[in-house]
């Protein structure tokens, strides 16, 4: 009877082990598919931004002077490079904190993860606040000139992505603290990290186009 019980227990253990192996295999398979889908989404976003950027470059090269001349015959002022540089450092700093958050999670350092995630979210909000301040004090309007239209369209589109990213990171932070992710299963955090770095890279291009070029 004892032998039978031991045999049954061993069989049950093997069944549980096989089930977990099946779950892990399914997770790896779906993780790869989700990663591919997310990368394709980011590529589609690159295409979207590229279309607007090429339109901006075309319009910029269609006039003899840049910034262009307004209706009163005066050349429009350039944007505040110093302020934009500071605001850019805030966003790029959030990219660094997001990297540290991801690494902390991989090394099972949850307190450090929480700290870096909160820092990333706060820096993202600060960047949006800086952008709102710049919009409020800009000497161009969306409908007043080609410069204003392209500036508000492209930076506004990027700002919308940052806003969505801040909400996304807040959800990831909540999920991580609710036990949704483990030390080996954390695709959502990986996707959030990729998205946030994408936002950083796009801003590098926009900063160069509108403030340095």
Give me the residue spans of the domains in the chain.
39-212
- Report the CATH fold assignment for 39-212: 1.20.120
Q: pTM, whole model, 2 decimals?
A: 0.85
CA 146 to chain centroid: 28
Structure-block tokens of residue 131: 């952008």
Share of the chain above pLDDT 90, in %: 64
**Cα separation, 21 vs 179, whole angstroms:** 20
* Omega of the bond leading into 67 within 30 degrees of 0 (cis): yes
Element (H, E) at 49: helix 2-60
DSSP 173: H
User: Do 196 and 165 contact (CB within 8 A), yes or no?
Assistant: yes
pLDDT along the chain (213 residues), means of 10: 46 46 65 89 96 93 79 76 96 97 95 98 98 91 82 96 98 95 90 96 96 90
């Amino acid at each position: 009877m004892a032998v039978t019980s031991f045999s049954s227990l061993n069989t049950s253990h093997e069944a549980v082990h096989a089930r977990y192996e099946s779950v892990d295999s399914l997770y790896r398979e779906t993780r790869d598919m989700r990663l591919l889908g997310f990368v394709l989404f980011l590529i589609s976003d690159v295409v979207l931004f590229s279309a607007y950027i090429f339109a901006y470059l075309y319009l910029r090269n269609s006039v003899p002077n840049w910034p262009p001349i307004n209706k009163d015959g005066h050349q429009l002022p350039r944007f505040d490079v110093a302020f934009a540089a500071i605001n850019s450092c805030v966003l790029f700093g959030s990219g660094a904190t997001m990297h540290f958050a991801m690494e902390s999670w991989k090394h099972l350092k949850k307190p450090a993860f929480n700290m870096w995630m909160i820092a990333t979210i706060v820096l993202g909000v600060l960047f949006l606040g800086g952008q709102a301040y710049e919009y409020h004090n800009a000497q161009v309007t969306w409908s007043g000139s080609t410069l204003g239209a392209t500036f508000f369209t492209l930076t506004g589109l990027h700002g919308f992505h940052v806003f969505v990213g801040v909400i996304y990171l807040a959800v990831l932070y909540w999920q991580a603290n609710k036990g949704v992710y483990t030390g080996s299963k954390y695709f959502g955090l990986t996707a959030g990290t990729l998205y946030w770095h994408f936002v950083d890279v796009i801003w590098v291009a926009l900063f160069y186009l509108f403030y340095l070029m």
